[in-house]
Amino acid sequence: MSIASIVDAQKFKRRPFCDTDTTVFDAAVTMALLEVNALAVIEDGQLAGIITDHDILLCLADSGSSFYEQTVNDWMTENPVACPTGAKLSTALNLMAKHEVRNLVITQRGDPLTVVSSKEILARIHEEDELELAVLRGMARKPSDRPNA
């Protein structure tokens, strides 16, 4: 199964993006409203970085009351790890492990499309495993226990 399966599920749910000049406070509000822990940062239509809930906590701890004036540009991670929609879920997880990140920017033809968390990927893998188990359990039943046998 590929990342596209998660992107399709998110299609009408969210566009977790902000601009480089967005305040960190506004980014935090956007994350809360969208129920996400990271936003892709866009500048001139191109992917410029990613800001996570962890970055926001660091900003708050470091900046104190000036937290409300700080911009995402000052706290984002530039050149974030990105993955195309066609990548397998296992490839995406390996990429996250290699770069020690919890969120991937998903791209389509090089353009940022969404952000996917490790939690979302693991949940999709779990769903896939559960389906496989159900099929195997059905195959393991005695013929007399199967419906339409």
Q: Over the stretch 112-124, which tens digit does the pLDDT of each residue have?
A: 989 999 998 998 8
Q: Which residues have a Cβ under 8 Å from the Cβ of 107 and sit 6 or more positions away?
A: 47, 82, 83, 84, 85, 113
Predicted confidence at residue 6, as pLDDT, reads 65
* CA 104 and chain centroid, separation: 5
Predicted confidence at residue 134, as pLDDT, reads 65
Q: Rounded to two decimals, what is the model's pTM?
A: 0.79
Q: Which domains does the chain have, with CATH numbers?
A: 4-145 (3.10.580.10)
Predicted confidence at residue 3, as pLDDT, reads 73
Q: pLDDT means per 10 residues in the chain (149 residues)?
A: 67 79 96 94 95 95 87 96 93 96 92 91 79 66 64
Question: Hey, is 136 helix, strand or coil?
Answer: helix
Predicted confidence at residue 32, as pLDDT, reads 95
